[in-house]
Amino acid sequence: MKLPKARAAKRKRMAVLLLAMIGLGTAAALTLTAFDDHLVFFRTPTDVATHKAPLDRQMRIGGLVEEGSLERVAGSTEVRFRVTDLEHAVPVVYRGVLPDLFREGQGVVANGKLASNGVFTASEVLARHDENYMPPEVAEALKRSGRWQHTEPPGAKN
Amino acid sequence: MNWHRFASPSNFKRLSARIFPWAAGGAALCLGYGLYQALFVSPPDYQQGQSVRIMYIHVPAAWMAMFVYANLAFAGAATLVWRHPLAEVAGRAIAPVGAAFTFLCLATGSLWGKPMWGTWWEWDARLTSVLILFFVYLAYMALNNAFDDATRGARASAVLALVGAVNLPIIKFSVDWWNTLHQPASVMRLDGPAIHPSMLWPLLAMAVGYTLLFVVLALVRIQAELIERRLGALVQARLSAGHAQ
């Protein structure tokens, strides 16, 4: 009689464990959904265009450095460029040191404030790279054969 | 199949003695080959240049941080549901190994982040959730040691290990669910790896090497823990025999 009882106890503990894990998972999912807005590292230019990004408050915007938009102001470290998610773009002004990976067409995250005139003044600029890794020769060959895919703007899911 | 026979310490001893030389030899081979390929043979990245070589240390460490944690959670479930004594020992033995892999992941990630992104650390969802994983490992070790009775410590920390398991899918999918500074997955993604084969193979060799290294460390630490417990029981028996006289 002892064995079935032990087995029943094990099954019961298993059931309690499964229920607890389901409950915990649901709680975690609900919490994360509720805080969804605060868990994003940066806003996209589309967020800015649709007024989902706060004005005059410290925040980050992310996207790609628009091709042909980079201007360096002569005699200073000031740079101007546009951050785009290929739907909308935000002009950015930044004065300071840029990371090595920073270049046109590259992913970027800028931390700063959006003024009411739509210009984003950045106090920090971080480079972001995509998930593709390849030797330079392969990248060259892809570009030559026209099979090069444009970098996806970060945060352009859904 | 009767899994219980693997749970008895004497069977474990026999099994681990058979596995150990293969795992140790395999780990040495894979890590040696992988490191040589990663540091000397594999090409630089088209964007990142030579810095990409940090990937071969960083990425397998991140995988192991999560894989070891999955093992820890499984050991926790086995401790609570089946009351396996070996699961208790295993959880206690592998937690510091997992914490070490997590630390390696965080440290190499930080060293990689500075030249590539321009920052040592940012509070994005991926980085933060891995930091939480590290803290959960530390909390597990502290809680496991907080009781005089080893079994009570094992059960309390097993609950913590299972609660912390919620973090694993969050780490994995953080880069898909939210905007993060960290890029999305390159290898474990639905439409195949986004890494050129000349970089992927060294990476996979390193991953196999890390996994075998984990097996080796786990076997040694479980053995040591079993011996320690046996010693403790003998001392206890000697003491109570002394009292009885």
Separation of alpha carbons A26 and A20, rounded Å: 10
- Chain B, residues 201-240, CB within 8 A of chain A, namely none
- At position B168, the amino acid (one-letter code) is L
pLDDT tens across B114-151, in order? 999 999 999 989 999 999 999 999 999 999 999 988 89
Helix (H, G, I), strand (E, B) or coil at A88: coil
| Token couple for B11 | 């069977």
Domain ranges of chain B: 53-184+195-240
- Across the interface, whether the CB atoms of B163 and A24 are under 8 A apart is answered yes
**Could you write out the DSSP letters of every residue in B43-60?**
PPBTTTBGGGGGHHHHHH
Mean pLDDT for B152-177 is 94
Write the class of the CATH domain A40-144.
mainly beta
What average pLDDT is seen over chain A? 85
- CB-nearest to A109 from B46, B123, B181 is B181
Helix (H, G, I), strand (E, B) or coil at A82: strand
- Across the interface, whether the CB atoms of A132 and B195 are under 8 A apart is answered yes
Separation of alpha carbons B59 and B55, rounded Å: 5
Domain ranges of chain A: 2-38, 40-144
Give the ranges where A35-155 is alpha helix by DSSP (H).
Answer: 36-39, 45-49, 136-144
- Give the range among A35-44, A59-68, B2-11, B18-27 with minimum mean pLDDT: B2-11
Chain B: give the shortest CA distance to residue A10, in Å.
Answer: 6
Backbone angles phi, psi at B179, to 5 degrees: -70, 125
Chain A: give the shortest CA distance to residue B49, in Å.
Answer: 8
- Examine the pLDDT at B183 and tell me if it is beyond 50: yes
Given this model, what pLDDT does residue A154 score?
A: 67
B216 — pLDDT class (breaks 50, 70, 90) = very high
What stretch of H or E contains A94?
strand A89-95
Cβ atoms of B234 and B24 closer than 8 Å: no
CB pairs under 8 A between A and B: 120
Q: What percent of chain B has pLDDT over 90?
A: 74
The structure's pTM equals: 0.90
- A41, A48, A94: which to substitute to probe chain B, counting the most B Cβ within 10 Å? A41
Closest residue in B to A7 (Cα) is B82
B1 — pLDDT class (breaks 50, 70, 90) = very low
